[in-house]
Structure 1
Amino acid sequence: MKRYFFDLHNGDGPTTDDCGLELETRGEISRHVAKILLDVARDELREQDRVLMSVTVRDAEGKTISVAALAFNNEWV
Structure 2
Amino acid sequence: MSSPPQSGVFSTQTPAVKEPRFIERIYDVASRGDFPMNRYFFDVYNSDGQVLDDDGQFFESRDRARAEALRILHDIARDEMPDRDLVKLTVKVRSDGGAQMFEASLILTSGWSA
Give the TM interval when normalised to the shorter protein: over 0.9
Q: State the structure with more CA Rg.
A: 2
* Root mean square deviation of aligned Cα: 0.9
Q: Which runs of 4+ in 1 moved over 2 A?
A: none
Q: Which is helix-richer, 1 or 2?
A: 2
Instruction: Within 5 Å, give how 1:1-77 maps onto structure 2.
Output: 1-77=37-113
- Take 1:26 and 1:61, find their aligned partners in 2: how far apart are those partners? 15
Stretch deviating more after TM superposition (67-76 or 37-46): 67-76
The question of whether the paired residues in 1 share the 8 Å contact of 2:66 and 2:102 is answered with no
Over the matched positions of the two proteins, sequence identity in percent amounts to: 39
Distance in 2, matches of 1:13 and 1:24, equals 30
Q: Which runs of 5+ in 2 are unaligned?
A: 1-36
- Which structure is richer in relative contact order (CA contacts within 8 A, separation 6 or more)? 1
Equivalent residue, structure 1, for 2:7: none
CA distance in 2, matches of 1:42, 1:55: 15
